[in-house]
Amino acid sequence: MVELLKEKFPGYQLVLSPERDKRPRVRQSVKCPFCPGHETLTPDTRARFPETDKWQIRSFENKYPVFPSTGKKPLGYQEVVVETPDHEQRPEGYAEDHFFALLRFVRQRMETISREGRGCHYITWFKNEGHLAGATISHAHSQIVRLNFLPETLAKAYRRVRFATDRESGCPLCEKSHAENALLEDKHYKLIVNPAGRLPFEMQIIPAVHVSHFEKTDERGLEHLAGVLRKAIGALTRAKPGVHYNIVLQNGLYHKNWNFHWHIAIIPRLAQFAGLELATGLHIMPMAPQESFAVLKKHLMR
């Protein structure tokens, strides 16, 4: 039983999903459901790359979804993407062509999942690396989530971008990518330290071209993205070995044709939100973005 609840003050929505607490916590490989040979411990395979038992990447429906895909009013769908057959492999060790294969896999699954079920409002991809980032199974994986409704906070944020892009000052993502010093830049992407990041070393990968949806990225664009993502994770994990982090795709909406500029945020979990944040809604950033920039730039060069 899943319920969408609203807290009127200070104003947020939450999904009450008690089943989630039954998720197994797996750190060892002995009974890891994501390891090859243990496929029967997960729901059926939805896709594999390559399409053999010796897969490198495999996906299946999340066994403990926040958003159930069946029932009277499906809230959405969640799919787990196991990124490597190797239980011990961490993303900073992926080769560039493995990142490329992963991004192609994610793009293809997002295209398929967005068409399934009724009423896709939003579809995106995210990764939790380490338990401080929300991972309960240590085997490297990420998730694709489709929402059949539009959360209020997202609606407000996307409305702001749409108005700015259509009527006022122009797209805030285009503006940001032009204004900020790049950690890395090619003709497809710019990697920057988010000048208004809420945590130290927070980065963004912003496409040079203003496009709403990640799924529209062509092969060449994905190749370049694989290179930028690999370098960004490499620099972060060299600067802060063992760091836990999230990778979040901010994608365009489906149910309204609102103008957007997709991008990726890399958010290291190097601090906790505390009482002041909860009391005032103000995030306290303990480190100047210029300092994050200098450290990351140094580690990018290595």
Which H or E element spans position 198?
none
User: Which stretch, 85-93, 220-228, 230-238, 263-271, contacts Zn ion (CB under 5 A)?
Assistant: 85-93
User: Which stretch, 81-89, 185-193, 243-251, 277-285, contacts Zn ion (CB under 5 A)?
Assistant: 81-89
User: Which stretch, 69-77, 132-140, 185-193, 242-250, contacts Zn ion (CB under 5 A)?
Assistant: 132-140
Q: How far is Cα 245 from Cα 266, in angstroms, rounded to an integer?
A: 7
Report the residue from 20, 46, 63, 87 that binds Zn ion according to the rule CB under 5 A. 87
Footprint of Zn ion on residues 201-220 (CB under 5 A)?
A: 210
CB of 126 to Zn ion, least distance (A): 20
CB of 84 to Zn ion, least distance (A): 9
User: Which stretch, 71-79, 124-132, 133-141, 267-275, contacts Zn ion (CB under 5 A)?
Assistant: 133-141
34 binds Zn ion (CB under 5 A): yes
90 binds Zn ion (CB under 5 A): no
- Please give the size of the binding site for Zn ion, defined by CB under 5 A: 11
287 binds Zn ion (CB under 5 A): no
Here's the x/- map for Zn ion, 3-32, by CB under 5 A: it reads as --------------------------x--x
139 binds Zn ion (CB under 5 A): yes
Q: How far is Cα 18 from Cα 2, in angstroms, rounded to an integer?
A: 8
Which H or E element spans position 206?
strand 203-207
* CA 54 and chain centroid, separation: 26
Return the SS3 of 163. Answer: helix
**How many C-beta atoms surround the C-beta of residue 286 within 10 A?**
8
Q: What is the DSSP string of 91-130?
A: GGG--HHHHHHHHHHHHHHHHHHHHSSS---EEEEEEEES
CB of 36 to Zn ion, least distance (A): 8
CB of 127 to Zn ion, least distance (A): 16
Return the closest-CA partner of residue 107 out of 255, 233, 213: 213
Report the residue from 35, 182, 208, 287 that binds Zn ion according to the rule CB under 5 A. 35
Here's the x/- map for Zn ion, 170-189, by CB under 5 A: it reads as -x-xx---------------
In terms of Cβ atoms closer than 10 Å to its own Cβ (0-12, 13-18, 19+), residue 36 is middle
Tell the residue number behind the tokens 């192609």, with chain if given: 104
Tell me how far CA of residue 245 lies from CA of 37, 56, 57, 88, 145, in angstroms: 28, 23, 21, 17, 18
The residues binding Zn ion (CB under 5 A) are: 29, 32, 34-35, 87, 139, 171, 173-174, 210, 261
